[in-house]
Amino acid sequence: MTDREPLLDPVLDPAAMRKQYRAEGLAEQDLATHPMDQFARWFEDAARATLHGTLYEPNAMVVSTADATGRPSSRTVLMKQYDTDGFVFYTNYDSRKARDLAENPQISLLFPWHPLARQVTVTGTARRTGRDETAAYFRSRPHGSQLGAWASAQSTVITSRTDLDTAYAALEARYPEGEQVPVPPHWGGFRITPETIEFWQGRENRLHDRLRYTARADGRWTVERLSP
């Protein structure tokens, strides 16, 4: 297939893939005063959609970072907490995203709630959570996930899957179920303090609603409507 050869099968042709959104709109007067309160409303809708099997992992978000040279990278992680101060996720501090954030704390989050024709985009800065907060969350994880945090040197090259499985098996033997696994010193959380939060609602004819909160110096938020 050449670069210009069209895909004849509409099932496989990205240019032929279209969905007409018919969801209710998003109006300024319906927004919460604080963006995290608005996020809570939409997150509840997304979480309840999982009960009907229409949405998978509502706390999954695409995290985008950039290193000191500006080279970007993205990956999907799971949000584990949100409150008035922002969003929290956990990772290996030696991973690529953590190394990026050490050099450049600017970050973007995207919650892609496609079945609801909604998405939330966040820009802001990231900082590490305290060790007490990290330890409390680590203790809440399943035993296997605790072992996995030790077994995987995230983002590093490994020879084979066997090496990973062997490392996990050794940890499983050392810390059997019921025995406390120590919190890895190289593992912990990041808290994202939002600077902007955009709520996107899909509408008919691609005339989507996009309402963006922007933080002000006095602690309040302004809301702007963006053209779709």
**Nearest-angstrom CA–CA distance, 32 and 187:** 35
Active site residue 4: no
**CA dist 180 to 140, 146, 167, 175, 205, Å?**
11, 9, 18, 7, 55
Cβ(76)–Cβ(60) below 8 Å:
yes
Helical H segments across the chain, by residue range: 35-51, 96-103, 131-140, 143-151, 161-174
- From the candidates 48, 127, 174, 206, give the one annotated as an active-site residue: 206
* Residue 58: DSSP 8-state: T
Kindly list the catalytic residues. Answer: 206
